[in-house]
Structure 1
Amino acid sequence: MTTTSSLQDGVLLVRLSGDLIGSPDTEQLIASVNQHLGEAVTNCAVDLSEIRYINSTGIGVLVSLLTKFRSRGGEMVLINPADHPKKMLALTKLNNIFIVAANETAAREQLIPAVQ
């Protein structure tokens, strides 16, 4: 899995590609997010459009990240989950917990009001 992140207008955008299945990739993702949390970032958008496969460990990481942001008074939005992640979110009923946006613009619209 590859992870890239950028910070714009107080929103952390994390783009993931490959398989979200566990170490060491998930450790890198968590470390990257933790670094930005140290910069007082409270809102995050995670682009799942390039994730081919996700397992229970990957789901656990997403829940952990959501908890980190919400415990700081922020929010996390998932962007356009690919087929397998979308099925896993539905199977685990987490599609009722996560906010899902169709694209980056829609995700920012969900998050920017929370910043202001």
Structure 2
Amino acid sequence: MKAEFESRVQGKTLVVKIKGDLIGDESGPQLVGIVSDGLEEGIRSCIVDLSAVRYISSSGIGVLITILTKVRNADGEVYLTSPSEHVKKLLIITKLNNIFTVYDSLEEALSQSS
């Protein structure tokens, strides 16, 4: 299942909910584009809601790292929220849990990012 995105801005935070599989096909550049547009509009924190993501490939991980790099270069931060058990394990195996701040819920991330 191809990834779909829902994005909204809350205060100075861009919230992007990903649904489906993040495999970095054409959805990768689309996601990076959403974040780049947000940065141009002055957004400095980005929350990526992973609650509806079943699977992330190595390309999908690359997309997340690209987003993190872009946002940090703009003195911002990226937060991941609500990963499934499978995605959580992947974050631990790849040590991305040390690079990203991961929250169990979107509400928790919003309270930290604002």
Aligned 8 A contact 2:39 2:74 in 1: no
- Whole-Å separation in 2 of the counterparts to 1:32 and 1:71: 16
Aligned residue for 1:76, secondary structure, equals strand
Aligned 8 A contact 1:48 1:78 in 2: yes
Aligned 8 A contact 1:54 1:84 in 2: no
Report what 1:55 is aligned to.
57
Report what 2:31 is aligned to.
29
Q: Which amino acid aligns with 2:73?
A: S
- Whole-Å separation in 2 of the counterparts to 1:37 and 1:57: 22
TM-score by length of 2: 0.93
Q: Which amino acid aligns with 1:41?
A: I
Q: Which runs of 5+ in 1 are unaligned?
A: none
The partner residue of 1:73 within 75, 91, 96 is 75
Equivalent pairs, count: 112
The partner residue of 1:91 within 93, 106, 113 is 93
The partner residue of 2:6 within 4, 7, 13 is 4
Structure 1 runs of 4+ with >2 Å offset = none
The partner residue of 1:111 within 86, 110, 113 is 113
TM-score by length of 1: 0.92
Shift of 1:91: 0.6
Aligned residue for 2:71, secondary structure, equals helix
Q: Which runs of 5+ in 2 are unaligned?
A: none
- Whole-Å separation in 1 of the counterparts to 2:112 and 2:24: 28
- Whole-Å separation in 1 of the counterparts to 2:75 and 2:39: 12
Aligned 8 A contact 1:14 1:45 in 2: yes
